[in-house]
Amino acid sequence: MKVRILGCSGGIGGPDQLTTSLLVDQDILIDCGTGVGDLSLEELARIDHLFVTHSHLDHIACLPLLIDTVCDMRGSPLMVHATAATIDTLRSHIFNWAVWPDFSAIPSAEESYLRFAPLRVGEVFELDGRRVTALPADHTVPAVGYHLDSGVASLVFTGDTGPCPELWTAVNAIGNLRTLIIETAFSNREAPRANISKHLCPDTLAKELEMLAVPADIFITHLKPGQSEVTMREIEERVGPRKPGMLRGGQVFTF
């Protein structure tokens, strides 16, 4: 499997500040933030499956534009995999004809350009030998992370989450884990904001990583623009022996 980071910022503000989206091989997206906008028409049209972590705008911003742009270039519906709660939010607040047309009913419900596929934590999707599994997360809206398994090695993307012991139970059961991408949205000075919004800061990240019992290369995502340098310094001070790196747009993981 090949994972290309299209966007990994916790906000906008320049060419390097694109919000969350990961392209898996050529046909799978994990989240659909503003980073998707840099793909070509041909690349957009090749995407068959989108796995959404949760309904917040920075993770779904390009979904309405994606399906509108390439619907007539595709021979099959775009499958959007998400929790039932996230799908309800997308239907009610995005694809509702007021904010955006309901592409799950265009040109008809039977032959729509977009289809929703509810998933549950622990559920495994096998796509041409690749396995995608929803992982527990604890956020202000229903959310999941994802475990990507090529059969040779695995990558875990936590999505947005605060402290979540159930996540580590699942992660520690992965025998071939190679890469962990975990969010740390705020610096320690913003700890109250992190706590109320169910994100991590360096202090809570350190406590979470104490529960990680398997080896992995660790990368930090969802850093807020303007706080990334201080946040990474604090992470180095708190969890330096694990050598976490800053996730960057354009980075590629092959496993």
Q: pLDDT tens, 87-111? A: 999 999 999 999 999 999 999 999 9
CB of 177 within 8 A of CB of 156?
A: yes
Fill in the DSSP letter of residue 231.
Answer: H
Count: domains in the chain: 1
**Residue carrying structure tokens 């500040």:** 17
Question: Could you tell me the two tokens for 138?
Answer: 């604890």
Q: Average the pLDDT over 126-153 and give the result.
A: 98
**240 vs 242: CA distance, rounded Å:** 5
Confidence of residue 15 (pLDDT cuts 50, 70, 90): confident
What domain range is 154 assigned to? 2-254
In one letter, which amino acid is 68? D
Please write down the HEC assignment for all residues of 98-142: CCCCCCCCCCCCCCCCEEEEECCCCCEEEECCEEEEEEECCCCCC
Q: What value does the mean pLDDT take over residues 2-31?
A: 96
Residue 5 has pLDDT above 90, yes or no: yes
Amino acid identity of 124?
A: V
CATH code (residue 179): 3.60.15.10
pLDDT tens string 132-145: 999 999 999 999 99
Q: In 3D, which of 10, 31, 30, 17 has the Cα closest to residue 197?
A: 10
Backbone angles phi, psi at 239, to 5 degrees: -130, 30
- Residue 77 is given by DSSP the state P
Say if residue 14's pLDDT is above 90: no
What gap in Å lies between CA 22 and CA 48, rounded to an integer? 14
pLDDT band at 79, cuts 50/70/90?
A: very high
What pLDDT was estimated at residue 53?
Answer: 98
CB 122 within 8 A of CB 99: no
Compute the half-sphere exposure of residue 171: CA atoms within 13 Å on the CB side of its CA: 29
pLDDT score of 16 more than 90:
no
Average the pLDDT over 166-176 and give the result: 98
